[in-house]
Amino acid sequence: MTNRHDLEIFVDRLFANQRRTKEVVELKNEVLSNLEARVTDYMENGMNYQSAISLAIDNIEDIESLIDDNQKIYSYRYRYDLVQSALIYSLLAWIASIPARILPSGIAVNGLLLCLVVLSGVVYLSMSRHLKVYEKQTAVINAGKLFKWSKAAWGLWGIFVIVVSAYSFAMQFGSDVWFGRELRIDGPYSFYVTVLQYAIPLTSIFIPLLIHKACKLTIKHEVNEQ
């Protein structure tokens, strides 16, 4: 008897970096069944369990070449859901940045986010009116590329936050070095302003979140040919 659990762990790791599309899930199940059959076969021929598993795993091909990145989706519904998510994320970022309106930079960021709310709101309302008509519209998109963009967006956002925070830190806490005068946080308002300088750039998190959502929606709106 094979231990299905060991093989499942291996297959999960093998597919860890893949999107969970129907095609990928089917392929994953197929690989698992194939591995089980091989292990059972090796064991019936007198091989011990560990050796059978090792040999079966060694013979697994590179799965990247088996997965097609191009995916057919319901394009209008996909864009509609994406605009809806953009509206929700920009609303959340706008609300989160309202307390920052105490500072001039906060007013600018909050104003920009409000513009995004209005823009995505208008597009969303306009798309809602035509949803019934274009509901079945389909298109093929390169979901693999989108998946890579999602990862890159998180990486870039992380770098952006680190650089901006380091710059704010150097400008504020380095005042002792630049101007010979130590930083003073002498009250709640002063503390609030200091915290805001680090918090305002974090509102940009809605950008990688939106790209991540775009990636996830390709699975939700995948066209099931069967």
Partner 1 sequence: MSRKNMLIIVLLLIGIGGMIALEGYIKPRAHAQAIQYEAEQNDPMTHDIRNSLSFASPYMGNAGNFINLNASLPLREIGRTFQLYPEEQTAELRFQAVAGALKEEKLKEFLLYNSTANFVMIDNLEKLIFAFEDQVFSISRDKVETWYGSTESLASLRDAKTWKTEVQSRLQDAEYVSDYVEKLVEQQEAL
- Closest to partner 1 by CB, 92 vs 156, is 92
131 or 139: CB nearest partner 1: 131
We find the least distance from the C-beta atom of residue 101 to partner 1, in angstroms, to be 6
User: Using a CB cutoff of 8 Å and minimum separation of 24, what contacts does 96-100 make?
Assistant: 96/203, 97/200, 97/203, 99/196, 100/196, 100/199, 100/200
Q: Please identify, using beta-carbon distances, which residue of 170 and 183 lies nearer to partner 1.
A: 183
Q: Is the separation of the CB atoms in 113 and 98 below 8 Å?
A: no
Q: Contact at 8 Å (CB) between 205 and 158?
A: no
**Shortest approach of partner 1 to residue 203 CB, angstroms?**
13
- Residues in touch with partner 1 (CB under 8 A): 84, 87-88, 91-92, 94-95, 98-99, 101-102, 117, 181, 184
Task: Region of 185 please: left (phi>0), alpha (psi -120 to 50) or beta.
Answer: beta
Residues 206, 93 contacting (CB under 8 angstroms): yes
CB of 19 to partner 1, least distance (A): 23
Q: Measured from the CB atom, is 92 or 207 closer to partner 1?
A: 92
Shortest distance, CB of residue 91 to partner 1, whole angstroms?
4
Between 98 and 139, CB nearer to partner 1: 98
Smallest gap, in angstroms, from Cβ of residue 197 to partner 1? 18
Residue 139 belongs to what H/E stretch?
strand 138-142
